[in-house]
Structure 1
Amino acid sequence: MTATAPKLTDLVLATRTISEQGGACPYQAEGTILGQHFYFRFRHDYASLTVGEADQVGIDGITGDPYGGVLSDDEFEKLFRKLLKRYLKSLKF
């Protein structure tokens, strides 16, 4: 049996600490990841993630509800992972 290497997203998520999470219109979360401050926001069916001083990455049309601004914990986790993947792809190693 061969071991599967962990994905970069999973390794980065292992460094995440969340200091605040929740709310409605907007749903927000903040904390640290890779030693950098992050800010997540979801409102008007648009989710964004900013890490450190980096440019913001975002996704539009999440729920199809233009007034969407509430997430379950599972929905937050899925969106955060998706945005984190976009952020990591934007980095130049």
Structure 2
Amino acid sequence: MSAQIASAKVTEQAAQGGVLLKLILFSLSLGIVPLSSYFLSEKYIWNGNSNLAAITAVVAANIVLVAYIVLSMFEDNEDQQKAARAKEESRKNR
């Protein structure tokens, strides 16, 4: 029974936080941002130098990944703070 409650809580948190929406957004960004940065920087910034354009694309991909990790950490911290507040409130109500 406790496994059902745990899975219900996870589903509820996912619905409230828009986790799936964030995952889709970052997945699309991980595909679009590096490709567009490669071709745009190759044409407009590096004047046809594909090596520098590839480095630009790698940096862009890493920026997207770091942004996803940072956002996930902040979201996790908010969840932990909410749980701590709820626990403290339940102690006060006793």
Q: Looking at secondary structure, tell me which structure has more helix per residue.
A: 2
TM-score, structure 1 as length reference: 0.27
TM-score, structure 2 as length reference: 0.27
Largest Rg, 1 or 2: 2
